[in-house]
Amino acid sequence: MIEPKLNPDRLTPPRFRGSLFSAFRNGFRGIGIALKNERNLRLQMGIAIVVIIGGIVYQLSQLEWAIISLTIAFVLTAEMLNTALENTLDRISLEEHPLTRNAKDVAAGAVLISSMAALIVGGLIFLPKVIG
Strand ranges in the chain using DSSP code E only, listed in sequence order? none
Distances in Å between the Cα of 18 and the Cα atoms of 7, 23, 59 are 14, 7, 41
Q: Cα(90)–Cα(96) distance, rounded to whole angstroms?
A: 10
Q: Which residues are catalytic?
A: 79
Residue 44: how many CB atoms within 10 A of its CB?
Answer: 21
Q: Cα(37)–Cα(81) distance, rounded to whole angstroms?
A: 14
Q: Cα(107)–Cα(101) distance, rounded to whole angstroms?
A: 10
